[in-house]
Structure 1
Amino acid sequence: MKKQIFKLLVKLNKLVLPSYYKKDPMKLSSFQKAILGFRYWALTNSLE
């Protein structure tokens, strides 16, 4: 059940949130880093 929720969250993230994979993480603003961290957290929980 938990894994399915996180997989749905990852799909939602792909549609709604911007992607920063080509940008240098050191040059991102704190808000952009928070979005990047949230996307990473959701992805790792969906894979477990």
Structure 2
Amino acid sequence: MDLKTLNRIDKLRRLKSRGPKTPKWLKPYHLLFVAFLTVFIFGAIIKILEQNH
């Protein structure tokens, strides 16, 4: 194998090990989004529980 193929394989391996790349616009907000989602879901659960009683 020549150097070019070895480099290509190495690059592919590195990309695979890094996992899925998050889009740039999502990075600063993903934690905020998850927090909002959990609060929203908890609110919905509480509403449903209040209606049942």
Bigger RCO (CA 8 Å, 6+ sep): 1
Same fold, TM-score > 0.5, yes or no: no
- TM-score, with length taken from structure 2: 0.38
Greater C-alpha Rg: 2
